[in-house]
Amino acid sequence: MKRAERGFDVVKAGHIEFLVTDLAEARKFYAETLGFVVTESDRTHVYLRGLEDRHHHCLMLTKSDTPGVGHFAFRVTDESELRAVEKMVKGRGWYSRWVDPGEESGQGRALMVEDGFGFPVEFYARMAPEEWLLQKYQDYRGAKVMRLDHFNIMLPDVASAYDWYVGGLGFGCTEITETEGRRPDLWAAWLRRKHTCHDIALTTGKGPRVHHAGFTVSDRASIMDAADLLAASRYLKSMERGPGRHGVSNAFFLYLRDPDGNRIELYTGDYISADPDWVPIRWKLNDPRRQTFWGAPTPKSWFNEAMMVRSPRNGEFRKILAPKIRDRPDYLLSVR
Amino acid sequence: MKRAERGFDVVKAGHIEFLVTDLAEARKFYAETLGFVVTESDRTHVYLRGLEDRHHHCLMLTKSDTPGVGHFAFRVTDESELRAVEKMVKGRGWYSRWVDPGEESGQGRALMVEDGFGFPVEFYARMAPEEWLLQKYQDYRGAKVMRLDHFNIMLPDVASAYDWYVGGLGFGCTEITETEGRRPDLWAAWLRRKHTCHDIALTTGKGPRVHHAGFTVSDRASIMDAADLLAASRYLKSMERGPGRHGVSNAFFLYLRDPDGNRIELYTGDYISADPDWVPIRWKLNDPRRQTFWGAPTPKSWFNEAMMVRSPRNGEFRKILAPKIRDRPDYLLSVR
Amino acid sequence: MKRAERGFDVVKAGHIEFLVTDLAEARKFYAETLGFVVTESDRTHVYLRGLEDRHHHCLMLTKSDTPGVGHFAFRVTDESELRAVEKMVKGRGWYSRWVDPGEESGQGRALMVEDGFGFPVEFYARMAPEEWLLQKYQDYRGAKVMRLDHFNIMLPDVASAYDWYVGGLGFGCTEITETEGRRPDLWAAWLRRKHTCHDIALTTGKGPRVHHAGFTVSDRASIMDAADLLAASRYLKSMERGPGRHGVSNAFFLYLRDPDGNRIELYTGDYISADPDWVPIRWKLNDPRRQTFWGAPTPKSWFNEAMMVRSPRNGEFRKILAPKIRDRPDYLLSVR
Amino acid sequence: MKRAERGFDVVKAGHIEFLVTDLAEARKFYAETLGFVVTESDRTHVYLRGLEDRHHHCLMLTKSDTPGVGHFAFRVTDESELRAVEKMVKGRGWYSRWVDPGEESGQGRALMVEDGFGFPVEFYARMAPEEWLLQKYQDYRGAKVMRLDHFNIMLPDVASAYDWYVGGLGFGCTEITETEGRRPDLWAAWLRRKHTCHDIALTTGKGPRVHHAGFTVSDRASIMDAADLLAASRYLKSMERGPGRHGVSNAFFLYLRDPDGNRIELYTGDYISADPDWVPIRWKLNDPRRQTFWGAPTPKSWFNEAMMVRSPRNGEFRKILAPKIRDRPDYLLSVR
């Protein structure tokens, strides 16, 4: 489906809402330790941005009894396009509702959707501008987080979600993982609107769950400095995996769990994917360098745990369903 | 002018042709020392690509009696769009001619234009695919050049060229430099199609000339390793400026002159500019951190010298005209 | 025991001899891939040095039916001092024999000792000078190995070896690990003559075995570049552990197994230990940050496997004895 | 002269006293911006150490009407050795006086000398221990300064000072610069006691003056981060030279002027010089890569300006004398 049929353009992964049980603890982790910038906060929310961001927030922390993800959001080019999104969503029979300007602080009018895979996805065009801190080097702290890069979601049926993101929303596909065999299944896909490796990755697993949100840092040194910093402070156990190199995306990574167990990735080193004739890079599920280019083992928590998502219809967490195909490489089948 | 009126989309800065007097010497510099990958070569050309490139070439070296630039080229999304480009160019009364597929090795059908500012600019959609070397780390050499990032051109009248690139070709503007005073002139502009700081920069000076082509490397370490390597080999004098940090673009840079004096920039550290409401960053010409964030002086050759361009009409080098406004900051007026 | 009583000064860890079953394969690994510089080679030996070395070799590969360590060697300040070493060794009733100049290529007269712990240790003063390649950046390859830093040996009785190295040979102690409890045992010690963290580390385990030889690289980037390079070439499985940060020594590390399973460490980031009143840094065996500052798990091979040593008396490999105290932290007792 | 004749061992460059006109401003520069750690302060002094230091101070700021250097100091191995130093100094007819324990905070008994070249040099053995912050990564700030590395002094007669440091104090010489011609003069020497490139450098110029004190940082990234930080804060003009690579010492450097114009070097990337048969690396004064390996020009202030030294006899600044030979390379003779 081309743009003319869609009537709108998704720009990029815009922001994500993490549910946290202790707002002060979460702020200590994200702002004071990792160096996210606090744009605004109140008794139930902290709105954070990266050093490269020129808008109100890319990460929103919301006080909650239970951790997880409230919603994640894509930016579209113009507010007038949101009705086209609504039309497409309604055409699929999915739930949606309008979010008033300012209902989420800093944000213009938005459309909140529960997609057919169970994820709470928001579409918005306007976000309040904020000062650019990219060259305020004197304010750099911690991991020197630059910006949100992508969401990684787990769900039982990747192929259907691929159709929606590529066919419906016009995402390009940069890399895929497929199962072994003569008639391979699509196991995971890395999809982008902006010109990087991805804005969203779809991976096979129990879901709907959000596996992590990826945030960009400038270079490998920032990631290793963050690892030293976290180990030296009281966040040793927050480091779940890495630093290491992914085969997929070529990114240099460090995965962290916040005090509530919500997962983020510090991420650097992918590529520019602007070419219109980009042929997806293909990986086999069992290729050991796909997951970790250097071959180091992945902890089982990384495969088994992910963030529950809250339904925008009733505020309850979505029930988890099992995948139709196996959710990990053969060499990790015993890791449960 | 919106896309519908244009009828085409420019994707990115695609490739550049450097004229060199000694092909073997140029190859030694670009391929053996800096680590560009040779895709193809014959008696009069060497076609080079970066480690991140998936296509035939981003740098083309052509044997010539005189150094300079043969042409630079933008990629458009589809070959069917080239007629829309031709129509727009003809509407302005500029010279253009069709380039047959393969006339430039690896390239599909293309439109060669001499724009109204005197620059030889090619538009093309197809380029032969080549193996991706991004994860062939065993083949990394020298400066580990990833890809072409941008062209920087000098011309007497930046404001008119700005209208063509932004109004005609649909580029976005990420940063500008303007002169001091209550009614400032536009002195330079950084314009992009892909989601980085720029695909082309327009700067005030004697022209039409190409100041440099910028190539991306992964990190600051690659640039410093390149500086050590060049100093230790016989290319000490090839290093014209840097390593240093630009205020504009925030890039970490090293400027090099090839054995013929053609200039390239090794470049890293800019930002993602996908947001549709990007407000250009504004710099004053006399701000010392604009040119060199760290304040180190710029050698006069950097202001005085640039590459001549060859007319696609007759193969002769274009005559140089003086700018209408001063071509450098006040603190450098004495540097001539 | 002071210098006057000893009559000699040990300068530093000087070189090590690795036994390899396939000299061509070993050379491919060390020279062509990791970038060690070949000073000399013949049908049964390859002599290698680092980019910072100004002498003939710091790593010597010897063709052998069985992998392992032929000997490791300490440099003393002057050849005239070797008799003082011999006297001390004889006083302890240990085996020693003189090695003629050139018997080991590039080396002056030397004393080969089998110490009371079963290790083949050579003492020498003179080594043929070689060109310094530190600023020949154009010759940097692979992991850009600078120099030998230290030996790490495993043996059942660390306390006795500590007495010999500190009391007999005049080493300083920079860090120790001791067991838990009110009357802790000395579990490991990091000992130095040159002004770094160590020239030799003594660790508790089945022995006599050499756990690894540590080679210095300039920075963390070199180690990560090496990891990418090894993963991309056919040495993915050579990476046993890391990259990571040690708590002990503060070093940033990557452990590699050569094609024969011999182990080296790429190592950077320790400190200058020149102060005469240096108080050893004390670690408890069960402190998780001691081994890996970032908390990542250590593969069991790292605890279970080490290099056999060949006796200088008869050329046979020394029998392995079990340690008197446990050989790993509690949290790794199940890893066997 | 061997140790036995000297009766003492110098360990390393220990600390330096900078005279500053505004203690609060100086503290803001060194502690808050560059990240030196404040061990102690009172109304007229601030005592600073690096992250790797385990003792009270390596940099001492003293309130003064005039900037400059109060003294610089070498650590010896034991307090009992100071009498041997005194004897040697008296033998040369130089001024000396005893400094009581605590007269300089944190320091044991010391001998203050005015050497025959006009420099105020202190010898001490004991300094109060302080907490090691090397692995307190959460406290790393600014340039992440690790430790004092060396002093660089300018004086008219380098050859005589060389005799004192090498012949009298037992320093080793790692590198020298000599003038061109068949009978070259010694123009500069890099001398060390600890196993690095140098503890003190002697360079030809108007003197006695201290050109700079060099402080070690861990890697090149720290230096570039410091450059960004200084440029972004109000210290743009504090950056006098660099970042760049020295040919001599192979160090990666950044030279800074504090708010009073006192000069320090941030320094990384030299080598281990433990070998007893080290043959000095020889450089010709006019070799362009000697000063700046990458060939970038040196600002004239770097050659013309240095810190005055205060006489320990009367507290007055020493008169400056002209050198006997030219004080800079031919290509810089016009830079005055």
pLDDT tens digits for range B119-129: 999 999 999 99
Pull the structure tokens for residue A86: 């609504």
Single-letter residue type at A67: P
Q: Do A225 and D138 touch (CB under 8 A)?
A: no
Q: Does A252 touch chain C (CB under 8 A)?
A: yes
pLDDT number for residue B1? 52
Q: Can you give the pLDDT at residue D183?
A: 93
Domains of chain D listed by start with CATH number: 10-124 (3.10.180.10), 142-329 (3.10.180.10)
Highest-confidence segment of B132-136, B328-332, C288-292 = B132-136
Q: What residues does B124 pair with on adjacent strands?
A: B75, B110
For β-strands C252-257 and A120-124, DSSP reports them as: unpaired
Q: What is the DSSP letter of C73?
A: E
In this structure, are residues D268 and D219 in contact, taking their beta carbons and an 8 Å threshold?
Answer: yes
Structure token digits, residue D304: 């013309």
- Distance of CA B234 to CAs A266, B31, B255, B257, Å? 40, 15, 16, 13
pLDDT at position D333 is 67
Does position D186 have pLDDT exceeding 60, yes or no? yes
Min Cα distance D277 → chain C (Å) is: 8
The pLDDT score that the predictor gives to residue D7 is 81
Picking from B137, B221, B228, the nearest residue to C232 by CB comes out as B137
Cβ separation of A218 and B269 shorter than 8 Å? yes
Q: What is the model's pLDDT at position C334?
A: 60
Rounded Cα distance, C58 and C51, in Å: 11
Q: Does C11 touch chain D (CB under 8 A)?
A: yes
CA-CA distance, C168 to C200, in Å (whole number)? 14
> Residue D333: what residue type?
L
D201 is written with which tokens? 């450098």
* Total Cβ atoms within 10 A of residue A293: 23
D228/A136 touch (CB, cutoff 8 Å), yes or no: no
Query: Which of B33, B136, B138 should one mutate to test binding to chain C, selecting the residue with the greatest count of C CBs within 10 A?
Result: B138
* Structure-block tokens of residue A29: 């982790």
CB-CB neighbors (< 8 A) of A278 in chain B: 54
Stretch B22-50: mean pLDDT: 98
The per-residue pLDDT for B2 is 61
| φ/ψ (deg, to 5) at B315 | 75, 5
Q: What share of chain B is helix, strand, coil (3-state, %, to 5)?
A: 20, 35, 40
Please tell me the distance from the alpha carbon of residue C250 to that of residue D146, in angstroms, as a whole number.
13
In this complex, do C295 and A237 lie within 8 Å of one another by their Cβ atoms?
Answer: yes
Contact status of C140 with chain B (Cβ, < 8 Å): yes
Listed in sequence order, the DSSP H helices in D14-152 are 23-27, 82-91
Q: Do C236 and A296 touch (CB under 8 A)?
A: no
Could B55 and A275 be called an inter-chain contact, meaning their C-beta atoms sit closer than 8 Å?
yes
Q: Are the C-beta atoms of residues D69 and D159 closer than 8 Å to each other?
A: no
pLDDT over 50 (residue A199): yes
Task: For A114-131, write each residue's pLDDT tens digit.
Answer: 999 999 999 999 999 999
Interface contact flag, A294 C220, Cβ < 8 Å: no
The DSSP output letter for B93 is T
| Residue among B126, B119, B59, B68 nearest B89 (CA) | B119
Specify the range with the lowest mean pLDDT, choosing from A71-85, C99-113, D98-112, D288-302: D288-302
D4 pLDDT higher than 70:
no
Could you tell me if B160 lies within 8 Å of chain C, comparing CB atoms?
A: no
Question: pLDDT per position in chain C (336 positions), as tens?
Answer: 566 668 889 999 999 999 999 999 999 999 999 999 999 999 999 999 999 999 999 999 999 999 999 999 999 999 999 999 999 999 999 999 999 999 999 999 999 999 999 999 999 999 999 999 999 999 999 999 999 999 999 999 999 999 999 999 999 999 999 999 899 999 999 999 999 999 999 999 999 999 999 999 999 999 999 999 999 998 999 999 999 999 999 999 999 999 999 999 999 999 999 999 999 999 999 988 888 888 777 888 998 999 999 999 999 999 999 998 888 888 776 654
φ, ψ dihedrals at C230, nearest 5°:
-65, -40
D271 touches chain C (CB under 8 A): yes
Rounded alpha-carbon distances, angstroms, from residue C276 to A83, C171, D59, D171, D323:
75, 11, 20, 17, 37
> Each residue of A157-172: pLDDT tens digit?
999 999 999 999 999 9
Nearest to C147 among D55, D147, D272 (CB): D272
**Across the interface, do A54 and B132 touch by the CB < 8 Å criterion?**
no
Interface check D52 vs C, CB under 8 A: yes
Q: Of the candidates A193, A119, A196, A124, which has an alpha carbon nearest to the alpha carbon of residue A160?
A: A119
- The whole-model pTM stands at 0.96
Q: Give chain C positions within 8 Å (CB) of A266.
A: none
Minimal Cα–Cα distance from B29 to chain C, Å? Answer: 13
Which residues of chain B are within 8 Å of residue D231 when distances are taken between CB atoms? Answer: 245, 289, 293-295
Q: Is residue B300 within 8 angstroms of chain D, CB to CB?
A: no
Is it the case that residue A2 has pLDDT exceeding 70?
no
Nearest to B227 by CA among B208, B215, B240: B240
For the CA atoms of chain B, what is the radius of gyration?
A: 19
Mean pLDDT of chain D: 95
A12 touches B at CB < 8 Å? yes
Q: Do A137 and D221 touch (CB under 8 A)?
A: no
For residue B174, the tally of other CB atoms under 10 A from its CB is: 23
Q: How far is B253 from chain C (nearest CA, A)?
A: 19
Judge whether C139 and C307 are in contact, CB under 8 Å: no
Q: Confirm if C33 and C14 have CB atoms less than 8 A apart.
A: no
Residues of D in contact with B289 (CB under 8 A): 231, 236
Please, are residues D40 and D82 in contact by the beta-carbon 8 Å criterion?
A: no
The pLDDT score that the predictor gives to residue D295 is 79
Q: Which residues contact A24 (CB under 8 A, 6 or more apart)?
A: none
Q: Is the pLDDT of residue A43 over 90?
A: yes
User: Rounded to whole angstroms, how far apart are CA atoms B229 and B218?
Assistant: 17
Q: How far is B209 from chain A (nearest CA, A)?
A: 27
DSSP 8-state assignment for residue C21: S
Please tell me the distance from the alpha carbon of residue C286 to that of residue C291, in angstroms, as a whole number.
9
Would you call A236 and C288 a contact, using CB atoms and an 8 Å cutoff? Answer: yes
Q: Is the dihedral of CA A131, A136, A137, A139 positive or negative?
A: negative
| Interchain CB distance below 8 Å, C129 and D279 | yes
Q: Does A140 touch chain D (CB under 8 A)?
A: yes
3-state helix, strand, coil in chain A (%, to 5): 20, 35, 40
Q: Which of B131, B134, B132, B115 shows the shortest CA–CA distance to B123?
A: B115
Tell me the pLDDT band of B329, cut-offs 50, 70 and 90. Answer: confident
What ranges in B50-110 are assigned the alpha helix state H?
82-91
Task: For residue B227, list chain D residues with Cβ-Cβ distance below 8 A.
Answer: 245, 294
Confirm or reject contact between B108 and chain A (CB < 8 A).
no
Compute the count of residue pairs across chains B and D with CB atoms less than 8 Å apart.
57
Q: Residue A288: list chain B partners with CB under 8 A.
A: none
Name the residue among A11, A132, A275 with its Cβ closest to that of B274.
A11
**Nearest in space to C11 (alpha carbons), one of C74, C96, C85:** C74
pLDDT, residue A162, reads 98
Name the pLDDT band for B291 (thresholds 50, 70, 90): confident
Average pLDDT of chain A to the nearest whole number: 95
* Strands B209-216 vs B307-308: parallel, antiparallel or unpaired: antiparallel
DSSP-derived secondary structure for A156-219: S-HHHHHIIIIIIS--EEEEEEE-SSSSPPEEEEEEESSSSS-SEEEEESSBSEEEEEEEE-SS
The dihedral built from the CA positions of residue D27, D30, D34 and D39, taken in this order, carries a sign that is negative
Whole-number pLDDT of residue B336: 45
Interface test with C, best of D54, D79, D248 (most C CBs within 10 A): D54
Q: Which helix (H) or strand (E) holds C288?
A: helix C288-291
CB C71 within 8 A of CB C16: yes
Contact state of B137 with C225 under an 8 Å Cβ cutoff: yes
Reported confidence tier of residue A336, pLDDT bands at 50, 70, 90 = very low
Partner residues linked to A321 by β-bridges? A207
**Burial bucket for residue C165 (CB in 10 Å: 0-12, 13-18, 19+):** buried
Alpha-carbon gap: D322 to the closest alpha carbon of chain C (Å): 34
Helix (H, G, I), strand (E, B) or coil at A275: coil
Adjacent-strand bridge partners of D55 = D129
According to DSSP, the β-strands at B239-245 and D239-245 are unpaired
Residues B15-39 have a mean pLDDT of 98
With an 8 Å Cβ cutoff, is B137 touching chain A? Answer: no
Q: What is the pLDDT of residues D39-70, one digit of tens each?
A: 999 999 999 999 999 999 999 999 999 999 99
Instruction: Report strand pairing: A110-114 vs A239-245.
Output: unpaired
Interface of A with D in 226-245 (CB under 8 A): 228-229, 231-233
Count helices and strands in chain C by DSSP H and E runs: 7, 18
Mean pLDDT of A24-28: 98
Q: Rounded to a whole number, what is the distance in Å from the CA of D262 to chain C's nearest CA? A: 26
| Ordered DSSP codes for C100-147 | -BTTBTTB-SEEEEE-TTS-EEEEE--B-B----TT-GGG--TT---E
Contact indicator for D328, D336 with CB cutoff of 8 Å? no
Instruction: List the one residue out of D255, D186, D192 whose CA is nearest residue D223.
Output: D255
- Give the integer Cα–Cα distance in Å for D220 and B85: 47
Q: Which among B137, B222, B225, B239 is the top mutation candidate for probing chain C, defined by the most C β-carbons within 10 Å of its own β-carbon?
A: B137
Beta-bridge partners for C147: C216
Q: For testing the chain D interface, which of A138, A146, A235 should be mutated: the one with the most D CBs within 10 Å?
A: A138
d(Cα D37, Cα C138) in Å, to the nearest integer? 39
Contact C245 A231 (CB under 8 A): yes
The span from the CA of A307 to the CA of A212, in Å, is 8
Query: Model confidence at A331, in pLDDT bands (50, 70, 90)?
Result: confident
Q: Are strands C10-20 and C59-63 parallel, antiparallel or unpaired?
A: parallel
Q: Are B79 and B130 a contacting pair, CB within 8 Å?
A: no
Residue A135: list chain D partners with CB under 8 A: 228, 232
